[in-house]
Structure 1
């Protein structure tokens, strides 16, 4: 089976040391990316670790396809203990970082300990160096990238950085690369902040040899280049009006299910602001959205659909320039737009200020700097909803995305049982329900398909393949690329999900945490069916026998 090559490099930011360890046994069984990082995190992060404590560890990893030149592979994985959910989480980001990471010759980077001063870490093919950077305290993500360019002659495609939100331990702070590409959900940027790491750079020419068949690469690349998919022009915002008209676009903090201003912030509105094509490394699909407002001079990348929801309909805001401005604020300050936007919307609901874009932007900045009410909001909705006097629209502490489980019941079930919390990409049941392959109504009979969708998503995060590649990188191509039966590849995904759940079980997560903030049909029966599909105990925990059978003996 095709897998990543290269050692694990462990960087101790407290001791200022770096060492390498062979993880060939892990890579041979778990390929790379999210799966390999999950194994490492499960085995190396203490089950009782504090998310902001020095015992938490953070992993950056690539998959073997980051050594291809195939479209949909310009991505990287980040894994660690989340300060937002208190469970294990993984996020991945696009851009151009992955090829530079591979050039260092390693398959994964492990960051441990806690520094007593703000650091930049420079990872090269010959080791790692540590640079105190007190002058970068409090600066934005683009300003950090400018510093790296000026002092090290490395562009933003070489850099992972946090903004003020990460330094101030905002629980939904993102780690950013290429200025606008986010390791978004779960607050892993705040983990870097707790370790006093402002940025990490990657550079080198030691790419390990990986033999990847040429034919699928060429065919997928050609298909991506020739596609007339609406997402190439409008990103994910192209679905805004369709979802608003036929399903649900949560509006005014979940009080309404459609937004009268959807067209003003949807796909056409974004496309009108797009001024050039944008892409990730090696990708001919080019779905990114560099946008500019000529009147104000505002430039950003995006917004994508989730930002249009979180800073648009959910806040009652119908001006695309206001949503662009919020998007740019979150990227610059280093915050997940979903969690930030939902939390700001909750505050607007509490003071009856829907539609007040100026206040929303003020709150966004206050959160990043933990100023005034921002100190409260920075801990996330699950921790502040009582003080605000609003309902808690989170799952396992993670704020809900746009795809409404009150209407898409399979997606609602997915939110409930997801190890990561309310993340729509943990298993994209939404695609099946929007497209009509599954009836969006009801949960009965969907558990087996949900488990398979989770396995598929884990496999893509392990390869690593962009979610947009799902229509192009077929099962047959995957079998050829990885030299493996597709069901064996899905088993790698299944073992990844099992390890995540087992880690969270050791931290106290069980069936009581697999829940929703609203009612959907037959949820408890569907959760039981999901546990049966996964081979879990009735309380949602992983049997030790399952670990021994499926993890310890994996080959």
Structure 2
């Protein structure tokens, strides 16, 4: 089975040392990326760790496909215990850092302990250089990237950066790479901030020799020539469809249809797109560099989730105002989905929907933990009572845009996902709009056949995150192509994904997570939800309470 190569680099931040060790056995069993990081975290991070404790660890990792020239492979994984959910969380980012990471020669990098001072870690094939950077305290992401370029001739594509939000331990702070791409969900930027790590840079000339089958180029050619609407409108292309289905969360989830959708839909974003945008080696080019000269704003995006959070969910019908919110989140290092939803919760409490000046002010206050922003920085699950609004989260993570009250399989996915209400954990929404062929589609309502398919999708997405292969490759990556690329039977590859999901669940079980956490604010509205949950657990081999039996924990 194709897998990543290279040692694990462990960086001890406290005594500023590093060491390498062979992890070939783990790589062979877990491929790379999320799988390897999950296995390492399960073994090395105390089950009862506080996310901001020095005992928490952060893992960065790539997979074997970063040795290819294939589209959909410009991604990197990050894994740690989330300060937002309290569970084990993996997030991955696009951009261009993945191959620079691979050039350093390590399959994974582990950060342990805490630094006594704010540092940048320069990771190369020769080891790690610790650079004290006290003058970067409070610096924005662009300011930090500019420093690294000016002082070290290190461009944004080689960096991972924490903004003020991470330093201030905002529970949904992101880690930014290529300046505008994010390890977004789960607040892993705050974990780096707690360790006094402002940035990491990567480079070298030691990329492992991994032979990728020639079939990669067939996928690459198709990605280059396919006339896909995402190449023009990114994920915002689905906004009108969601709205037509009464499935677009609006006004802090109180409504499911937005009358101002035309102002923030795919056509609106396409009018602001001024060039193509892509990730490393990818010919699909689905990213959205946008700008509005009159408003003086330039950003990348927003994608559909952010257009929901800062648009319909906040009562905003102007794509330029959403672009401004997106740019502010990138500048300060915030997960724009959680930031937008948290702002929407505050707007609901104050009856201030549509107040864009207030929205932009709140984003800055959250990042700096100033005034009411200090409370909002804790996230919806911790602040909703004080605001007097409903807790629209699962396991502490707020919802993505794909509406589980309309797409019932996606609702089930939100409930059971170890990461919380994240749409990318299984991407089940694609089956229900549908965005796939009729043979793979399911009716949006009901749960018939969905628990089994949900497990398959979770396992496949875990494999993608280990490969690492972008989830927008769904129209190109058939089971046969997985088998050709990874040199293994597709069912064996899905078994890797099953081990990853099970390890995540077991870790979270040890932290107290069980069936009571696998729920939805609207679970009572979904006929058959509890039976679907039972069926999901039974197929996973877990107990009726959503717990992994001790004999089922993967090695």
TM-score range normalised by the length of the shorter chain: over 0.9
Question: Aligned to 1:471, what secondary structure does the other structure show?
Answer: coil
Q: Please list the CA deviations of residues 133-179 of structure 1 after superposition, one character each: whole Å capped at 9, or x if unmatched.
A: 01111011111111111111110000000100000000000000001
Partners of 1:103 and 1:428 lie apart in 2 by 31
Partners of 1:48 and 1:127 lie apart in 2 by 31
Question: Aligned to 1:363, what secondary structure does the other structure show?
Answer: helix
> Following TM superposition, by how much is the alpha carbon of 1:14 offset from its aligned partner in structure 2, in angstroms?
1.0
> Following TM superposition, by how much is the alpha carbon of 1:525 offset from its aligned partner in structure 2, in angstroms?
1.0
Which stretch of the first structure deviates more once superposed, 444-453 or 137-146?
444-453
Q: Find the counterpart in structure 2 of residue 527 from structure 1.
A: 533
Q: Find the counterpart in structure 2 of residue 397 from structure 1.
A: 396
Q: Does 1:5 align with 2:5?
A: yes
Mapping 1:271-286, distance limit 5 Å: 271-286=270-285
> Following TM superposition, by how much is the alpha carbon of 1:297 offset from its aligned partner in structure 2, in angstroms?
2.3
Q: Does 1:472 align with 2:476?
A: yes
Aligned length: 548
Q: Find the counterpart in structure 1 of residue 543 from structure 2.
A: 537
Partners of 1:450 and 1:286 lie apart in 2 by 28
Q: Find the counterpart in structure 1 of residue 296 from structure 2.
A: 297
What's the TM-score once normalised by structure 1's chain length?
0.98
Query: Which residue among 485, 489, 499 is the counterpart of 1:485?
Result: 489
Which stretch of the first structure deviates more once superposed, 250-259 or 428-437?
428-437
Structure 1 runs of 4+ off > 3 angstroms?
A: none
5+ residue gaps, structure 2: none
Partners of 2:14 and 2:261 lie apart in 1 by 49
Partners of 1:492 and 1:152 lie apart in 2 by 40
Partners of 1:275 and 1:197 lie apart in 2 by 34
Partners of 1:507 and 1:472 lie apart in 2 by 38
Partners of 1:276 and 1:542 lie apart in 2 by 48
CA contact (8 A) 1:444 1:525 kept: no
Q: Find the counterpart in structure 2 of residue 185 from structure 1.
A: 185
Which stretch of the first structure deviates more once superposed, 495-504 or 237-246?
237-246
Partners of 1:18 and 1:159 lie apart in 2 by 19
CA contact (8 A) 1:47 1:503 kept: yes
CA contact (8 A) 1:157 1:177 kept: yes
Partners of 1:42 and 1:327 lie apart in 2 by 34
Question: Aligned to 1:345, what secondary structure does the other structure show?
Answer: helix
Which stretch of the first structure deviates more once superposed, 241-250 or 66-75?
241-250
Q: Please list the CA deviations of residues 437-466 of structure 1 after superposition, one character each: whole Å capped at 9, or x if unmatched.
A: 111111243111111110011011111011
Q: Does 1:500 align with 2:499?
A: no
Q: Find the counterpart in structure 1 of residue 453 from structure 2.
A: 449
Partners of 1:443 and 1:359 lie apart in 2 by 41
Q: Find the counterpart in structure 2 of residue 172 from structure 1.
A: 172
What's the TM-score once normalised by structure 2's chain length?
0.98
Partners of 1:468 and 1:176 lie apart in 2 by 20
Question: Aligned to 1:77, what secondary structure does the other structure show?
Answer: strand
Question: Aligned to 2:474, what secondary structure does the other structure show?
Answer: helix
Q: CA RMSD in A?
A: 0.8
Q: Find the counterpart in structure 1 of residue 408 from structure 2.
A: 409
Q: Please list the CA deviations of residues 397-448 of structure 1 after superposition, one character each: whole Å capped at 9, or x if unmatched.
A: 0001111111111111111111110001101111000016111111243111
> Following TM superposition, by how much is the alpha carbon of 1:291 offset from its aligned partner in structure 2, in angstroms?
0.5
Q: Find the counterpart in structure 2 of residue 139 from structure 1.
A: 139
Question: Aligned to 2:91, what secondary structure does the other structure show?
Answer: strand
Question: Aligned to 2:433, what secondary structure does the other structure show?
Answer: helix
Partners of 2:227 and 2:397 lie apart in 1 by 34
